């Protein structure tokens, strides 16, 4: 064991302070909670603890590191590699969903799962649910039932909060209380359908893992044995951003460590911003009650932000009703820059200010990638995107539609899935062709299943629809012929056809073409179509744009968690946007929005700009956010108000 004090020349301990070293060198086999504010090195400490465990002889594959995004997992593993060498790549690192998929592929046979199971993305999940509704002869609108998307949310909320469906509906959707029986019937059919098709949705991944981590007493002996083997495998479980775990994730983490393995969780209750998705503050607040011997360690130095930014953050979060006691002192010295509140006339001026200022910052030597523009909802970024495009500034968007959920990407992937016998996908493909409607698709699908896979499809149709079906059949057959060349070659063949036939119809066809090229490149990492589809949904946690060239970052605040930039702009600090109007009626709603504001401002290292427009479209007056006005009472405000200087 390395002495905590003696780390001066040790690459693993030297870049850490005393409190961080205490976490890194803490003994194995215990539960501990590291509770600390933003920028205090929680993530850094977690990575160094992983490296330290490896250095003391724990094999990488026996360490389970849970991160908030796949991107964070990759970065953390890359850092471990720097510290410990390439063995770090056998670490089990990823998001709860990504890890659940890996674990279920390895250990799921005890639950009757085929290791090749396919994961449904959100849209596929909705398709399955829609099909379940059809199987039962129901008509959602006619029968006064919730829409498919709402039904999905209900089932999902019940899983994530570990509440039965009735209680979930009474809590969040009381207006559907009288339909509980029917909704349960739909749920049962939905589950059956997924089982018949051998597919899992995102919630099933967590349920599957929880069955292995914490099997019910009534489970088969094989499940208990597998559970034991799985839990014995991991010497220590480490969880970043623990405050945003929901009930089922919390239970999984607890039970993965229930046989005397170590459990190190790091988090900050003030940064809990996923309550609306079922994150359960109790996981963190009740940690020490659940693990009596658990140590609580604090990190109290903030390395990220200037004292001015930190002071604004601390004053703001003090307005929340509940929070755990934490100290956060600036480690950095002042740069003499106050946080700016920029009052603009309208949204256009706000966008013009942000982009002009960003350009000045870049001209003064700040790289584009060190400048971020954050906002509460994706739609607020439109004006800034337009202005950036006008001024030819490179930018990436880390909010909005995910890469794999874009229509053109989904179309192309549907061809791939169709070649593997997926009927939903085949339907999507066929409907793309002009003249092909639901009736000809039904005829074609009957043919496709009885005769050779695609050759006979067109036989039932005539005229323009026949031409469409023939084209589809030719392309699908062409793809199958190329199976031996791998998925990238198959997709390249397809994209050629797709681009000619469909892409020109979109007004942003260049962007879409580039996306498809990107998809072909992505597919190079896989040997078969099957492999590609197996892990696709969990790979897509962040949009692909993130990794290319230096570019200014546009991001929702939710997506900015855990990240930092030298200069940060936060847009649209007006009532209704931040705090968001939907939060006003929710219990803890405005407090959660204030935590969101806290997350946003603590992303900034050197300089922070909070902007708002006095008027929205059609001259509607907007009220500045209470998160600003509440700081102006009594004391000197912790920011300086300005108007854009060019107007």
Structure token digits, residue 638: 């912790």
Which tokens in the block code for residue 443? 């005829």
Q: Does 42 bind ligand ATP (CB under 6 A)?
A: yes
Angle formed at CA 161 by CA 155 and CA 162, multiple of 5 degrees: 85
Minimum CB separation of residue 242 from ligand ATP in Å reads 11
The rounded Cα 187 to chain-centroid distance in angstroms is 25
> Cis omega (within 30 of 0) on the bond before 579?
yes
Q: How far is the CB of 567 from ligand ATP (least distance, A)?
A: 15
Min CB(44)–ligand ATP separation in Å: 4
Q: Which of 12, 16, 263, 396 binds ligand ATP (CB under 6 A)?
A: 16
- Closest to ligand ATP by CB, 18 or 114: 18
* DSSP state, residue 558: G
**Angle 290-291-295 from CA coordinates, rounded to 5°:** 130
Site for ligand ATP in 544-573 (CB under 6 A): 562, 564
Please identify, using beta-carbon distances, which residue of 111 and 601 lies nearer to ligand ATP: 601
Among 7, 25, 35, 38, binds ligand ATP (CB under 6 A): 38
Decide: is 268 part of the binding site for ligand ATP (CB under 6 A). Answer: yes
From ligand ATP, Mg ion, none, interface partner of 38 (C-beta below 5 to 8 A by class) = ligand ATP
CA 34/CA 268 separation, integer angstroms: 8
Q: Which does 17 bind (CB under 5 to 8 A by kind): ligand ATP, Mg ion, none?
A: ligand ATP
Evaluate whether 130 touches 147 at the Cβ level (below 8 Å): no
Q: Which one of residues 22, 35, 39, 52 is an interface residue with ligand ATP (CB under 6 A)?
A: 39
Q: Of 20 and 264, which has the nearer Cβ to ligand ATP?
A: 20
Q: Is 42 or 71 the residue whose CB approaches Mg ion more closely?
A: 42
* Pairing outcome for strands 262-267 and 31-36: parallel
Q: Counting contacts by CB under 6 A, is residue 595 touching ligand ATP?
A: no
Least CB distance from residue 602 to ligand ATP, whole Å? 6
Contact 324, 282 (CB under 8 A): no
Which option in ligand ATP, Mg ion, none does residue 39 bind, with CB closer than 5 to 8 A by kind? ligand ATP
Q: By CB under 6 A, tell whether 245 contacts ligand ATP.
A: no
The interface mask with ligand ATP, positions 298-317, x = CB under 6 A, is -----xx-------------
Torsion of CA 86, 88, 94, 98, to 10 degrees: 70
Is residue 40 close enough to count as binding ligand ATP by CB under 6 A? Answer: yes
CA distance 341 to 597: 14
Whats the size of the chain, residue-wise?
647
Stretch that binds ligand ATP, among 40-48, 179-187, 281-289, 462-470 (CB under 6 A): 40-48
Cα separation of 412 and 200, whole Å?
A: 22
Could you say which of ligand ATP, Mg ion, none residue 16 binds, taking C-beta under 5 to 8 angstroms by partner kind? ligand ATP
Q: Which is nearer to ligand ATP, 277 or 326 (CB)?
A: 326
CB-nearest residue to Mg ion: 43
Report the C-alpha gap between 147 and 340 in whole angstroms: 44
Closer CB to ligand ATP, 469 or 563, in the complex: 563
Shortest reach from residue 63's CB to ligand ATP, in Å: 18
CA 66/CA 102 separation, integer angstroms: 13
Decide: is 7 part of the binding site for ligand ATP (CB under 6 A).
no
Q: How far apart are CA 597 and CA 568, in angstroms?
A: 12
Q: In angstroms, what is the minimal distance from the CB of 39 to ligand ATP?
A: 4
Smallest gap from residue 75 Cβ to ligand ATP (A): 10
- Shortest Cβ distance from residue 35 to ligand ATP (Å)? 11
Nearer to ligand ATP, 40 or 306 (CB): 40
What sign for the dihedral angle of Cα 338, 343, 344, 347?
A: positive
From the CB of 602, what's the least distance to Mg ion, in Å?
Answer: 10
CB neighbour class for 540 (10 Å; exposed up to 12, middle 13-18, buried from 19): middle
By CB under 6 A, residue 41 contacts ligand ATP = yes
Secondary structure (DSSP) of 160-210? HHT--HHHHHHHH-GGGGGGHHHHHHHHHHHHHHHHHHTEE-HHHHHHHHH
Closer CB to ligand ATP, 493 or 598, in the complex? 598
Contact 323, 36 (CB under 8 A): no
Identify the residue among 7, 20, 419, 572 touching ligand ATP (CB under 6 A). 20
CA distance 385 to 351: 8
Q: What is the total count of residues that contact ligand ATP (CB under 6 A)? A: 18
Least Cβ distance, residue 199 to ligand ATP (angstroms): 34
Nearer to Mg ion, 299 or 358 (CB): 299
CA dihedral 6, 11, 17, 23 (to 10 degrees): -80
Of 42 and 347, which has the nearer Cβ to ligand ATP? 42
CA–CA gap between residue 256 and residue 448 (Å, rounded): 46
3-state secondary structure 232-278: HHCCEEEECCHHHCEHHHHHHHHHHCCCCCEEEEEECHHHCCCHHHC
In 3D space, the residue among 546, 495, 547 whose CA is nearest the CA of residue 519 turns out to be: 495
Binding site for Mg ion (CB under 5 A): 42-43, 562
Give least dist CB 34 to ligand ATP, A.
9
Residue selected from 13, 43, 246, 281 as contacting ligand ATP according to rule CB under 6 A: 43
Measured over all CA atoms, what is the biggest interatomic distance in the chain, rounded to whole angstroms? Answer: 82
Beta carbon nearer to ligand ATP, 240 or 411:
240
| 263 within 8 A of 253, measured Cβ to Cβ | yes
Q: Phi-psi bin for 614: left (phi > 0), alpha (psi -120 to 50), beta?
A: alpha
Q: How far is the CB of 266 from ligand ATP (least distance, A)?
A: 7
Question: Which stretch in 35-43, 93-101, 458-466, 518-526 sits in contact with ligand ATP by CB under 6 A?
Answer: 35-43
DSSP letter at 582 equals G
41 binds, among ligand ATP, Mg ion, none (CB under 5 to 8 A by kind): ligand ATP
| Candidates 37-45, 161-169, 364-372, 526-534; binding stretch for ligand ATP (CB under 6 A) | 37-45
Q: From Mg ion, ligand ATP, none, which one binds at residue 416 (CB under 5 to 8 Å depending on kind)?
A: none
Alpha helices in 56-121 (DSSP H): 70-84, 96-107
Residue with tokens 């607040």: 285
Residue 186's Cβ-side half-sphere holds a number of Cα atoms within 13 Å equal to 27
Report, in Å, the least distance between residue 43 CB and Mg ion: 3
**Closer residue to Mg ion in complex, CB, 339/562:** 562
End-to-end CA gap in the chain: 63
Considering the complex, state which of residue 275 and residue 562 has its C-beta at the smaller distance from Mg ion: 562
Closest-approach residue to ligand ATP (CB): 41
Footprint of ligand ATP (CB under 6 A): 15-17, 20, 36, 38-44, 268, 271, 303-304, 562, 564
């Amino acid at each position: 064991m390395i002495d905590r004090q003696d780390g001066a020349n040790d690459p693993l301990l030297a870049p850490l302070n005393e409190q961080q070293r205490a976490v890194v060198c803490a003994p194995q086999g215990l539960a501990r909670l590291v509770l600390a504010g933003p920028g205090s090195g929680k993530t850094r400490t977690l990575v160094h603890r992983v490296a330290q465990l490896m250095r003391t002889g724990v094999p990488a594959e026996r360490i389970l590191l849970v991160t908030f995004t796949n991107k964070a997992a990759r970065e953390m593993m890359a850092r471990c590699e720097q510290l410990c060498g390439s063995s770090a790549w056998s670490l089990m690192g990823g998001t709860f969903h990504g890890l659940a998929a890996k674990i279920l592929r390895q250990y799921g046979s005890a639950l009757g799962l085929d290791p090749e199971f396919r994961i449904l993305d959100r849209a596929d999940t909705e398709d399955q649910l829609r099909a379940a509704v059809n199987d039962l002869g129901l008509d959602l609108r006619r029968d006064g039932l919730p829409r498919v998307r709402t039904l999905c949310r209900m089932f999902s909320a019940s899983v994530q909060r570990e509440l039965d469906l009735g209680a979930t509906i009474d809590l969040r959707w009381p207006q559907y209380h009288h339909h509980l029986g029917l909704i349960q019937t739909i749920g049962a059919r939905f589950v059956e359908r997924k089982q018949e098709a051998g597919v899992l949705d995102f919630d099933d991944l967590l349920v599957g893992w929880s069955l292995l981590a914490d099997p019910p007493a009534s489970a088969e002996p094989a499940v208990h044995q597998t559970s034991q083997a799985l839990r014995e495998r991991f010497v220590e479980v480490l969880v970043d951003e623990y405050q945003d775990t929901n009930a089922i994730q919390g239970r999984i983490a607890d039970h993965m460590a229930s046989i005397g393995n170590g459990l190190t969780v790091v988090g900050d209750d003030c940064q809990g911003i996923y309550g609306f998705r079922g994150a359960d503050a109790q996981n963190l607040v009740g940690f020490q009650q659940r693990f009596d011997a658990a140590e609580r360690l604090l990190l109290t130095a903030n390395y990220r932000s200037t004292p001015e930014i930190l002071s604004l953050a601390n004053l703001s979060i003090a307005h929340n009703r509940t929070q755990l006691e934490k100290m956060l002192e600036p480690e950095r010295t002042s740069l003499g820059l106050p946080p700016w509140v920029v009052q603009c006339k309208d949204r256009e001026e706000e966008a013009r200010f942000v982009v002009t200022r960003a350009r000045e910052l870049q001209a003064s030597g700040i790289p584009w990638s060190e400048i971020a523009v954050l906002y509460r909802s994706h739609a607020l970024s439109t004006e800034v995107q337009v202005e950036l495009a006008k001024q030819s500034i490179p930018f990436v968007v880390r909010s909005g539609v995910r890469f794999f959920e874009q229509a053109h990407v989904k179309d192309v992937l549907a061809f791939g899935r169709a070649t593997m016998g997926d009927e939903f996908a085949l339907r999507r493909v066929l409907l793309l062709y002009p003249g092909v409607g639901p009736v000809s698709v039904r005829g074609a699908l009957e043919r496709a299943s009885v005769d050779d896979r695609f050759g006979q499809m067109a036989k039932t149709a005539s005229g323009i629809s026949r031409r469409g079906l023939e084209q589809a059949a030719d392309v699908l057959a062409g793809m199958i012929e190329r199976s031996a060349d791998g998925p990238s070659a198959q997709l390249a063949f397809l994209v050629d056809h797709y681009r000619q036939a469909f892409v020109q119809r979109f007004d942003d066809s260049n962007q879409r073409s580039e996306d498809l090229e990107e998809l072909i490149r992505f597919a190079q990492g896989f040997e078969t179509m099957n492999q590609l589809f197996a892990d696709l949904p969990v790979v897509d946690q962040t949009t692909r744009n993130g990794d290319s060239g230096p570019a200014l970052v546009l991001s929702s605040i939710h997506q900015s968690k855990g990240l930092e930039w030298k200069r940060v702009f936060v847009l649209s600090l007006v009532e209704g946007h931040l705090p968001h109007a939907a939060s006003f009626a929710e219990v803890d709603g405005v407090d959660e929005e204030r935590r969101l504001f806290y997350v946003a401002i603590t992303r900034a290292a050197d300089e922070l700009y909070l902007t708002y427009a006095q008027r929205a479209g059609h001259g509607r007056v907007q009220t500045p956010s209470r998160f600003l006005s509440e700081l102006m009472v009594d004391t000197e405000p912790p920011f300086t108000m300005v108007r854009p200087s060019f107007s």
